[in-house]
């Protein structure tokens, strides 16, 4: 059965396909970072409003009701942050896989050294000296903080409920 359309599908040569695939994956990862930090900022605003509003308009005291709302918001924030972190790991893996295929098809490592794809940190960072104004610890990397910070806020809210 035919659809009756006469659309012609443009077939890319394998190397062009690999490059386009890599570019699309980089774009998707970049867009995800943007969405992730937008969500993070919204939650920071909500949490700040809860605390600030109650402290300013509540005689400096936090009621259990506000702590419960704060805990619920923090739980949702943590779930979103943890899922965002999962997707970052997944999309970074896709970028790495695409880069590995490109390097295999087009890169001469003997002549140029190993290829470093966008987002590769472990090997590339070895050339950088430690600086007070610029350092990185993998366990508390920025994308991990998207889940760690809301978890710590949730624990704080739960602690306030228990006191």
pLDDT in tens, 29-42: 999 999 999 999 99
Give the pLDDT score at 22: 94
Residue 127 located in a structural domain: no
For residue 150, count CB atoms less than 10 angstroms from its CB and return exposed for 0-12, middle for 13-18, buried for 19 or more: buried
On the question of pLDDT at 93 being above 80, the answer is: yes
Segment 38-54 shows an average pLDDT of 92
Residue 132 located in a structural domain: no
CB atoms within 10 A of CB 103: 17
Look over the chain and give the mean of its residue pLDDT values, rounded to a whole number.
89
CA 119 – CA 121 distance, rounded (Å):
6
For the chain, what is the domain count? 1
Q: Which residue has the higher pLDDT, 83 or 9?
A: 83
Ramachandran area for residue 153 (φ above 0: left; ψ -120 to 50: alpha; else beta): alpha
pTM here is 0.82
Residue 44 located in a structural domain: yes
Residues in Cβ contact with 91 at an 8 Å cutoff, skipping those fewer than 6 apart: 25, 28, 29, 32
Per-residue pLDDT tens digits for 120-148: 888 888 889 989 999 989 899 999 999 99
Which structural domain, as residue segments, surrounds residue 26?
14-109+139-162
CB atoms within 10 A of CB 99: 21
Do residues 116 and 126 touch, judged by C-beta distance below 8 A? no
Residue 84 located in a structural domain: yes
Residue 98 located in a structural domain: yes
């Amino acid at each position: 059965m035919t659809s009756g359309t006469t659309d012609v599908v443009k077939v890319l040569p394998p190397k062009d396909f690999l490059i386009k695939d890599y570019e699309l994956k980089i774009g998707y990862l970049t867009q995800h970072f943007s969405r992730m930090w937008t969500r993070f900022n919204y939650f920071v605003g909500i949490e700040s409003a809860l605390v600030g509003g109650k402290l300013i308009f509540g005689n400096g005291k936090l009621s259990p009701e506000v702590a419960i709302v704060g805990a619920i918001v923090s739980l949702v924030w943590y779930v979103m942050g943890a899922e965002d972190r999962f997707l970052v790991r997944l999309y970074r893996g896709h970028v790495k896989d695409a880069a590995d295929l490109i390097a295999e098809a087009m890169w001469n490592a003997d002549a140029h050294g190993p290829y470093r794809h966008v987002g590769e940190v472990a090997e590339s960072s070895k050339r950088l000296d430690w600086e007070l104004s610029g350092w990185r610890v993998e366990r508390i990397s920025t994308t991990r903080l998207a889940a760690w910070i809301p978890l710590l806020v949730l624990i704080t809210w739960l602690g306030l409920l228990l006191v």
